[in-house]
Chain A
């Protein structure tokens, strides 16, 4: 198993109130799989993604990624984990507005031991001709492509996508999903996508549904569709 989550609990304490975000979550995923986590707002899907990405801590349990229990790592080791193994794609792209497309991708390449050639990455996301533009000079879909390029340039084993199509129109969203599946195939990257959009789950090998911090459904999708074929 590439990802193995065992009995994970997570609570947020805000003053006198303790809010359970994850309750006894168990989950496994194989290397190279695409997993989609579905659930309404407040179901804990972002918390789960953050924990797998090493940007949030758990209360109890184990989070084993590629044989390492990241729940036991200290902050410095977690930093190295994110640096070497994880790529992130955000709903609102989170590009540095005052850096060009090329430089935004360089942000990640800069700390990678063995990054993919920058021009090759930009070519693969179809942004070669826009590399000297600033983010505000791009459409939403193009900005998300930059975000994908930034995530994959360091060849991560794990690509975590937080509502990657949430801010995009239908066409742009489909293009982004296509790109993510291409990355998954080309680099054998394990991908986890969290989304509200149930239609997206059809591109996944594994569909996980969360409700109130608990996994309500965890199924293997035998009938995976390409991004072009899904509709919503």
Chain B
């Protein structure tokens, strides 16, 4: 059909609108293909790594060594391996955790270099090596024994190398892991003995009871409570959500955009359509003609987006596998996601645009040639408005706002979406900031936390005693995990406040606000709990709810904690101190410094800043496209008015004010609704991420972030306005004279 020549000419004439739509589809397909392919690969790699290298089900520390491993393995049909670890403190005060190599559970995988084959060979994690400039073949002197670094490795239980399994932030400058041959570990020290276990049957309780018969379990950590293992699962969920939700949201936005642009195109071409109709063109031929617009846009957008997305898979995989210490065993380009990415825009755009086109073509040739039925239809809102009290400028702006509801909806939705995207980064950072500030400044006043490898009894000269254990409770017919802290009644190093910011004393049972919210537990309610170490059961009655959002924690007086758990009176497992204490290392499981955690957070902020920057750029582009297209539609619809304003003697700035300034209301409105929406979205995103983890990340958004984002959105609006100003100036006064309208 000769009319196909019109398509190219129309697209070139209104190129900004079509290029904007294509860019949105590119972003959507790029995100869809890159995230889904990469996340599937990461998940496959993770699964393969966990299966091949025998990820533990739990690890534990027990008072006395187990001497009947083989007997227990047979009795309970499980795999049990004794392991050793030594925390070697480097000259720069960083800790390198030396692990003995295993052969049954949590076996290492070499990421680069070669496996350990002889004595005095060591494999270390790549992030620590990189942070300390430790290349392969470098010699490493550990407690007077020289080791040769033969490669970089990962173990399934240290995919996220955290010093303590309850830590949240890794910091390769301060902490790393290494593996040496089993016998070599004794060359560097006595070390901590712990055990990793993998069950084949659901007999975990029986096994634990057996262990507790004539021994004392000091610590038991299931793999899902071990942040070193489980953090990646939360992030994977996040990545999968981004890969699914974001592209669809962008496509919905693109659908609205294309529908509005196409319906404007159709209205503009009513005369031509009517003429073609009158000449004998069929409805089908005309529908097909106009469907070519979304088809062309979809083909270009999806092809480019999918190609760019595919090119981004490897860098994205490198980032994820680099951030997590994960070997990259398989890189598969899942063709399923490539195909979906290619057809997704068609699935969304074609039906919507088909409806728009069919609706327009319902008019008769005569109606079309007369400009359609609705050319100057006044909608119900406009009709109901009583604007007598306003001056003309305000009246015009209000009428302009109400004139095209789809256009207004597009502007609000587009700005809200771009603002939400912009705020994602800020909300993530603010939430993390809050979590760190809330935990490490407001609540935990100590600077050092020492955890012993066996129960200690008696008084301490310096610091405060504390104990902890993992518990399980049936809440809403579901087994839920949490931690109970036994805290000294007169504790000065842990400070909890209630909702009125009044300090709470440790003479009662206190639960965190996040736990209260998550399980709907109120003051006065009783919770039946079961100690995961020794299966001891008892009931606690909630006396107060503390403003703590960072975990599901119960605080109770230490004396009651010991009594309820059957632990010796005056016993404890931890010492909190404002100052560094001189405690022999062989007595400790871990020594944590608040500064290390804060440093870790600051280290993590850097990639987060890049993430925020990247997302902000994307938000800026989307915002710019939407605002630009809507503004250009406003100009197009007001072409005759602008021309007439010029004839009547309106000055440039008066015309700009009449045509552009009402959009700012939509922009502000779009932004305002985005703020609660993003807080809700980020909260549900964090909930989904941390669903199976023993932490809660509260969704926060600071005033400064809201202001900065607002300024960015306004700048975006101003830029798109400036870009459109030349269009207004190009409108000739003669247009008004030629225009035939009511």
Seen from chain A, the residues whose Cβ lies within 8 Å of a Cβ on chain B are 46, 50, 53, 55-56, 76, 79-84, 86, 88, 90, 92-99, 103, 106-111, 134-136, 143, 162
Which 8 interchain pairs have the tightest Cβ spacing? A83-B649, A97-B376, A82-B649, A110-B392, A55-B733, A106-B392, A92-B740, A135-B742
The one of B387, B393, B734 that contacts A50, using a Cβ cutoff of 8 Å: B734
**Contact (Cβ within 8 A) B376 A98:** yes
Interface majority SS (helix, strand, loop, mixed), chain B: helix
Q: Which residue of B lies closest to A85 (CB)?
A: B649
Contact A82 B647 (CB under 8 A): yes
Does chain A have a CB within 8 A of B75?
Answer: no
Bound-state CA distance A171–B399 (Å) is 33
A76 contacts B395, C-beta separation under 8 Å? no
Q: Are B376 and A107 in contact (CB under 8 A)?
A: no
* 8 A-B pairs (CB sep. < 8 Å): A55-B734, A84-B649, A86-B649, A88-B648, A92-B741, A98-B378, A103-B396, A107-B645
Hey, which chain B residues are within 8 Å of A143, CB to CB?
742
Q: Please state if A103 and B395 are interface contacts (CB–CB under 8 Å).
A: yes
B107: Cβ under 8 A from any A Cβ: no
The yes or no answer to B382 lying at the interface (CB within 8 A) is yes
Determine the distance from Cα of A232 to Cα of B131 in the docked complex, in whole angstroms.
96
Q: Give min CB distance, A104 to chain B, whole Å.
A: 10
Q: How far is the CA of A99 from the CA of B403 in the complex (A)?
A: 10
Contacts of A162 in B (CB 8 A): 737
Chain A neighbourhood of B651, CB < 8 A = 76, 79, 83
CB pair A97–B647 under 8 Å, yes or no, is: no
Contacts A92-B739, A92-B741, A143-B742; A83 near B395 (Cβ below 8 A): no
Residue interface bits B371-397, CB-to-A below 8 A is 1, else 0: 000011110001100010001110110
Complex CA–CA separation, A72 to B383 (angstroms): 45
Task: Tell me the nearest residue of chain A to B729, going by C-beta.
Answer: A75
Residues from chain B with Cβ under 8 Å of A92 in the complex: 739-742
Give a binary string over B715-742; 1 marks a CB under 8 Å from any A CB, 0 the rest.
0000000000000000001101101111
Is B285's CB within 8 Å of the partner chain A? Answer: no
Residue of A82, A90, A103, A135 near B392 (CB, 8 A) is A103
Cross-chain contact of A94 among B376, B377, B383, B644 (Cβ < 8 A): B644
Contact B742 A88 (CB under 8 A): no
Give chain A residues whose Cβ lies under 8 Å from the Cβ of B382: 98
Assess whether B392 is in contact with A94, with CB atoms less than 8 Å apart: no
B641 contacts partner chain A, Cβ-Cβ < 8 Å: yes
Name the residue on B nearest A55 (C-beta). Answer: B733
Nearest CB of chain B from residue A40's CB, rounded to whole Å: 18
Contact across chains for A107 and B392 when beta carbons are under 8 A apart:
yes
A109 to B395, CA, bound (A): 13
Residue of B nearest to A87 (CB): B648
> Is B646 engaged at the interface, CB distance under 8 Å to the other chain?
yes
Shortest Cβ distance from B388 into A: residue: A102
Closest partner residue, chain B, to A138 (CB atom)? B742
Flag whether B103 is at the interface (Cβ < 8 A): no
Q: Which residues of B contact A108 (CB under 8 A)?
A: 648
Instruction: Say whether B281 faces chain A, with CB atoms less than 8 Å apart.
Output: no
Task: Give the distance in Å from the alpha carbon of A46 to the alpha carbon of B734 in the complex.
Answer: 10
Interface size of B by CB at 8 A reads 34
Bound Cα distance from A94 to B647, whole angstroms: 11
A135→B737 contact, CB < 8 A: no
Task: Report the Cα distance A192→B733, complex, angstroms.
Answer: 19
Most buried by A among B649, B733, B737, B740: B649
Would you call A94 and B736 a contact (CB within 8 A)? yes
Which of chain A's residues have a CB closer than 8 A to the CB of B383? 134
B622 sits at the interface (CB 8 A): no
- Which residue of the partner chain B has the closest CB to A150? B648
Bound CA span A170–B555, Å:
94
| Bound form: Cα–Cα A175–B734 in Å | 27
Chain A residues near B395: list those with CB within 8 A: 99, 103, 106
Query: Are B648 and A134 in contact, CB atoms less than 8 angstroms apart?
Result: no
Nearest CB to that of A151 among chain B residues?
Answer: B648
Taken together as a complex, chains A and B put the C-alpha atoms of A83 and B655 apart, in Å, by 13
Are A98 and B737 neighbours in the complex by a CB distance under 8 Å?
no
Q: Are the CB atoms of A95 and B742 closer together than 8 Å?
A: yes
Q: How far is the CB of B401 from chain A (nearest CB, A)?
A: 11
Quick one: closest A residue to B643, CB to CB? Answer: A94
Residues on B with beta carbons closer than 8 Å to the beta carbon of A110: 391-393
Q: Is the C-beta of B210 less than 8 angstroms from some C-beta in chain A?
A: no
* B640 within 8 A of partner (CB): yes
Residues from chain A with a CB closer than 8 A to the CB of B640 are 94
Q: Is the C-beta of B654 less than 8 angstroms from some C-beta in chain A?
A: yes
- Are A136 and B737 touching (Cβ within 8 A)? no
Q: Which residue of A lies closest to B385 (CB)?
A: A100
Judge whether B739 and A83 touch: CB under 8 Å.
no
Closest A-chain residue to B383, C-beta based?
A134
> Out of B648, B654, B741, which one reaches A82, CB within 8 Å?
B648
Q: Which residues of A contact B644 (CB under 8 A)?
A: 94, 96, 107
In angstroms, how far is the closest chain A Cβ from the Cβ of B658?
A: 9
Q: With an 8 A cutoff between CB atoms, is B650 at the interface?
A: yes
Once the chains are docked, how many angstroms separate the CA of A162 from the CA of B647?
13
| B650-A134 in contact (CB<8A) | no
Bound complex: CA A53 to CA B648 (Å): 10
The residues of A that contact B400 with a CB separation of less than 8 Å are 98
Residues of B within 8 A of A98 (CB): 376, 378, 382, 399-400, 403
* In the bound complex, CA of A151 to CA of B391 (Å): 19
**Nearest Cβ on chain B to A41's Cβ, whole angstroms:** 13
- Evaluate contact between A55 and B742: CB separation under 8 angstroms: no
Question: Within the complex, what minimum Cβ distance (angstroms) separates A142 from chain B?
Answer: 11
B83 to chain A, nearest CB (A): 77
Task: Tell whether A135 pairs with B376 under 8 Å between CB atoms, given A92-B740, A103-B392, A103-B395.
Answer: yes
Report chain B residues within 8 Å CB of A134: 376, 378, 383
**Bound Cα distance A135, B377 (Å):** 10
Please tell me if the beta carbons of A111 and B649 are within 8 angstroms of each other in the complex.
yes
Q: Which residue of A lies closest to B650 (CB)?
A: A111
CB–CB B649/A79 < 8 A: yes
Q: Which residue on chain A has the smallest CB distance to residue B738?
A: A92
Task: Give the interface centre of B382, B651, B736, B741 by most chain A CB atoms within 10 Å.
Answer: B741
A99, B399: Cβ atoms closer than 8 Å: yes
Contact A88-B378, Cβ < 8 Å, known A55-B734, A93-B742, A99-B395: no
> A residues within 8 A CB of B648?
82-83, 88, 107-108, 111
Smallest CB separation, A217 vs chain B (Å): 24
**Smallest Cβ-Cβ distance to A82: which chain B residue:** B649
Q: How many Å lie between the Cα of A80 and that of B645 in the bound state?
A: 12
Which residues of chain B from 402 to 433 have a CB within 8 Å of any chain A CB? 403
Residue of B649, B740, B741 near A97 (CB, 8 A) is B741
Q: Is the pair A90, B737 in contact by a Cβ cutoff of 8 Å?
A: yes
How far in angstroms is the closest Cβ of chain A from B404?
A: 10
CB distance from A134 to the nearest CB of B (A): 5
CA distance A79 to B649 in the complex (A): 5
Residue of A nearest to B386 (CB): A132
Q: How far is the CA of A26 from the CA of B561 in the complex (A)?
A: 109
Residues of A within 8 A of B647 (CB): 53, 55, 82, 88
> Bound complex: CA of A56 vs CA of B644, how far in Å?
14
Q: Are B737 and A46 in contact (CB under 8 A)?
A: yes
How many angstroms from the CA of A227 to the CA of B658 in the assembled complex?
38
Q: Which residue of A lies closest to B379 (CB)?
A: A98
Residues 645-665 of chain B, each 1 if its beta carbon lies under 8 Å from chain A, else 0: 111111100100000000000
Given known contacts A55-B646, A90-B737, A143-B742, what 9 new A-B pairs fall within 8 Å (CB)?
A46-B737, A50-B734, A82-B647, A86-B649, A93-B741, A93-B742, A97-B742, A98-B403, A135-B742
Residues of A within 8 A of B376 (CB): 97-98, 134-136
Least distance between B735 CB and chain A CB atoms (Å): 10
* Contact of A50 with B737 in the complex, beta carbons under 8 Å: yes
CB distance from B680 to the nearest CB of A (A): 36
Report the minimum CB–CB distance from B700 to chain A (whole Å).
44
Chain A residues with CB under 8 Å of B733's CB are 50, 55-56
B739 with A94: CB separation less than 8 A: yes
